Structure 1
Amino acid sequence: MSIEEIGCCGAYCGTCPVLKENICPGCKLAYRDGARDISKAKCKIKVCCMGKGHNSCADCDEYSFCGTIQGFYKKSGYKYSKYREATEFIRANGYDEFLAIASRWKNQYGKYG
């Protein structure tokens, strides 16, 4: 388990079978190792986050008032609120504690505690 399995938005990719089978390099890894060009990425969250050198939006001082990530979290769908919950958990408790909890999940989000 590593921070690379956490998407910039807070999605936990460590449970994804496509990632586990090495079909997908994950949200960030291919951009960090140069296999993909970040200037061609379609995800505004990823471009911003990686451009600032963050592991996720949890690291950003602008998180609470960032229109890009907060707008993403306001989309309809349960998963968006769970991604927000993950990001806020990381901000409060750190990546190690998040990964320890996420290791028990079956999906890209789960319960804390």
Structure 2
Amino acid sequence: TDSSVSKLSVISQREKVLNAIGALSRSPSKNISQEDILKLFDKYFYSMIQQEVHEGLIGHMLQQMTGWCSRLTSVNQTLTDFFKKGLEQKTSTAVTRTAYLQCMLATYK
């Protein structure tokens, strides 16, 4: 299902699935459109990151998302709002804010 990654209860299982998603971003294929990447974010990353409470896993999710962000040549408002919301969360720590900033650097290069 669409939310199967978030249903994995063991952190190490989620990390492995996220590693695979991140590895796909390094695929030499040029057939992945900007629109497809942004849909991937909207369908999987945004909600997973916002629902996650484990600081290390949030950082890992953002790290995997960074690989996809580096492939973008344009950015939509939804992604910009996602970054803004993540940085403004009261529960954000220095670790998660740093991960958001690294992802933003790859996005707005």
Same fold (TM over 0.5): no
Higher helix share: 2
Instruction: Give the TM-score, by structure 2 length.
Output: 0.28
